[in-house]
Amino acid sequence: MGGSHAVVRASAEQRYKDELERLRADDKAKRPEGWLLSPRAVRSFILGDKERGISRKFYGDDPLVDRAIVTLMGHQGLMLVGEPGTAKSLLSELLAAAISGDSGLTIQGTAGTTEDHIKYSWNYALLLAEGPTPRAMVPSPMYHAMESGRLLRFEEITRCPPEIQDVLISLMSEKQVMVPELGRDSRLHARRGFNIIATANLRDRGVHEMSSALKRRFNFETVRPIRDHRFETELVMQQLERELGAVCAEVQVERDVVALLVTTFQELRNGQTAEGTAIKSPDAVLSTAEAVNLSYAAALEALHFGQGRLTPRELANQLQGVVLKDNADDARRMRHYVDTVMRERARRDDLWKTFHDAAKQLWQ
């Protein structure tokens, strides 16, 4: 379609095209068969290399990234598990972009995912016209990944019914897809470089538990929330400035205001205040990614309805939409936080007073 509007979000291989090309040009290390970059260069792409002008893209557990890269060189798949918003999908995308040059071979796990989505389906008009032929077959992302020797991303795998999950067992063991409609011996053998990166949310446990047979086909890595307050504040600041820059929004953002939001998120997430007082955590997702989304919305509110300066008032206004999702008890937990923790800090800090006064009106 025509038009000159920029896309909302380009794929990782498009966003970081220059960095990937630079790494490939300088990469002299040994590469696994089917990989576009060596393991060391993949690590540099994800964790950054200042000397070579490569930006850091994943913040958290660096050794986890090393283990993930090693896993993808082996025979087992990689399973990234963790709370929502801990950048599991981002890490999956970055690995696929660096290793295969294509992060788009993705299956989104849902209750409606079928075996056809994992293997192949048919163009029924062609099927009726000429029978089961290669031209009539519609390959799945899995089929394309095996055929070309690239990584497949399987998002939210535990959202799929168990019988659909178990379709992966033979595919991951035998590394081939049988196509009986094309003949008795018709099969696709996966090329070197093929593997699977799957993700699952810890909060989805009990939705569709994976079988032990399927679990054995994966190495599990847990992606944890960021715990360092200063580090998370800097990260939210960086991401917020990047988001605002993308839409040319000039908003004054002070670090202390963002730090206040990070403190709130960390305390509610951990169920404990900085002073050591136990509080009840909401069921709502209070991740770093959610903090970025909230601060971005608050900054836009400040730009269009305020004075162009992000204040705790805008943060309080947006906090309600983050916490109140689908659990009525979260409102009670948030009121308790406002009436105790915020109120006490408001007595000795002007920023917290503004935050408390605005939040109190919303959490009656």
> In this predicted model, what pLDDT tens digit does every residue of 111-148 receive, in sequence order?
999 999 999 999 999 999 999 999 999 999 999 999 99
Q: Point out the least confidently predicted range of 24-28, 43-47, 241-245.
A: 241-245
* Structure tokens belonging to residue 159: 């959202």
Q: Which of 41-50, 95-104, 175-184, 310-319 is predicted least confidently?
A: 175-184
44-48 CB contacts, 8 Å cutoff, 24+ apart: 45/16, 45/19, 45/20, 45/94, 45/97, 45/98, 46/91, 46/94, 46/95, 46/98
With a cut of 50, say whether residue 1 has pLDDT above it: no
Residue 274 has pLDDT above 50, yes or no: yes
**CA–CA separation, 351 vs 159, rounded Å?**
42
Pick the residue with more confidence: 206 or 50?
Answer: 50
CA dist 120 and 133 (Å) reads 13
* pLDDT attached to residue 249: 84
The proportion of the chain whose per-residue pLDDT surpasses 90, expressed as a percent, equals: 78
- pLDDT tens-digit profile of 301-349? 999 999 999 999 999 999 988 887 767 788 889 999 999 999 999 999 9
| CA torsion, ordered 229, 234, 235, 237, to nearest 10 deg | 120
- CA pair distance 333, 185, nearest whole angstrom: 61
Residue ranges per structural domain of the chain: 12-222, 229-362
340, 331, 344, 251: which is closest to 298 by C-alpha? 251
In whole numbers, what is the pLDDT of the chain averaged over residues?
92
The dotted CATH code for 12-222 is 3.40.50.300
Average the pLDDT over each of 29-38, 70-79, 194-203 and give the range with the smallest value. 194-203
pLDDT in tens, 153-168: 999 999 999 999 999 9
Q: Which of 198, 191, 219, 217 is nearest to 35 (CA)?
A: 191
Q: Is the pLDDT of residue 4 over 70?
A: no
pLDDT at position 362 over 80:
no
Asked whether residue 363 carries a pLDDT value surpassing 70, the answer given is no
Of all residues in the chain, what percent carry a pLDDT higher than 70? 96
- Residue holding tokens 């897809």? 177
Contacts of 12 (CB under 8 A, 6+ apart): 57, 93, 94, 96, 97, 103
> How far is 316 from 358, CA to CA, in rounded Å?
6
Q: Which two tokens stand for residue 346?
A: 């408001």
Which tokens hold the place of 339?
Answer: 């009436």
Q: What are 172-227's pLDDT values in tens digits?
A: 999 999 999 998 778 999 999 999 999 998 876 556 688 999 999 999 999 998 88
